Amino acid sequence: MADILTLQEAWGALAGRALTYVGDGNNVATSLVHAAMLTGMHVRVSSPPGFELPPHVVSDAARISRLGATLSLVGDPKEAVAGTNAVYTDVWTSMGQESEEATRRAAFLPYQVNADLMSRAADDAVFMHCLPAHRGDEVTDEVMDSASSVVFDQAENRLHMQKALLLMLVGNPR
């Protein structure tokens, strides 16, 4: 929800915009795809072979799609980000996968979000990451610290969303 709020702050209307996730088809990718499909965004996911979104996530996305939203799985990250409005990535190795780090590094290196990859996106594209980021791995300093990066807005919005959820869950104590 914080990611969607961040995009809404950046663009206003979301329907018809393109969002590209580059990296592991993990829980972050799953949640992002589902949320984006509900808002009418066109989503592209680019993952190395063997690290794609699970088939049930793809079928769920088609089922919950609203306002013409589409999901495309694109192997080539350069093709996936072409003309997109947002590029999103996450760490290559999550907690509990440390023994796979060398294998994952080799598989994901061509999926690094760097200046060359971002240059293929729309001129006003934003860069997103749920943090913490491993600079030099999934994203370069140049992109992380660029004017297109909205990662700290995302982090701030996560705080606000968590507060809103808590208020909703506990209700108004007055």
Partners of residue 147 on adjacent β-strands: none
Looking at residue 28, the DSSP 8-state letter turns out to be H
**Residue 39 near residue 69, CB atoms below 8 Å:** yes
Task: State the pLDDT at residue 164.
Answer: 92
CA distances, 56 to each of 51, 138, 174 (Å): 14, 25, 43
Residue 122: other Cβ atoms inside 10 A? 17
Residue 73: other Cβ atoms inside 10 A? 14
Region for 155 from its dihedrals, namely left if φ exceeds 0, alpha if ψ lies in -120 to 50, beta otherwise: alpha
Q: How far apart are CA 15 and CA 150, in angstroms?
A: 19
Q: How confident is the model at residue 110 (pLDDT cuts 50, 70, 90)?
A: very high
Task: State the pLDDT at residue 88.
Answer: 98
For residue 11, pLDDT beyond 70? yes
Can you name the CATH fold of 2-170? Rossmann fold (3.40.50)
Place of tokens 């001129």: 123
Q: What is the mean pLDDT of residues 48-53?
A: 97
Report the sign of the C-alpha dihedral through residues 157, 148, 84, 59, in that order.
Answer: negative
Q: How confident is the model at residue 174 (pLDDT cuts 50, 70, 90)?
A: low
Q: How far apart are CA 142 and CA 33, in angstroms?
A: 26
How do residues 52-107 score in pLDDT, each as one tens digit?
A: 999 999 999 999 999 999 999 999 999 999 999 999 999 998 888 889 999 999 99
- Parse the chain into domains and list their residue ranges: 2-170
How do residues 119-173 score in pLDDT, each as one tens digit?
A: 999 999 999 999 999 999 999 999 999 999 999 999 999 999 999 999 999 987 6
Task: State the pLDDT at residue 96.
Answer: 85
Predicted TM-score (pTM) of the model is 0.95
Region for 8 from its dihedrals, namely left if φ exceeds 0, alpha if ψ lies in -120 to 50, beta otherwise: alpha
**Residue 81 near residue 22, CB atoms below 8 Å:** yes
Residue 78 tokens read as 């350069």
Report the sign of the C-alpha dihedral through residues 25, 148, 10, 117, in that order.
Answer: negative
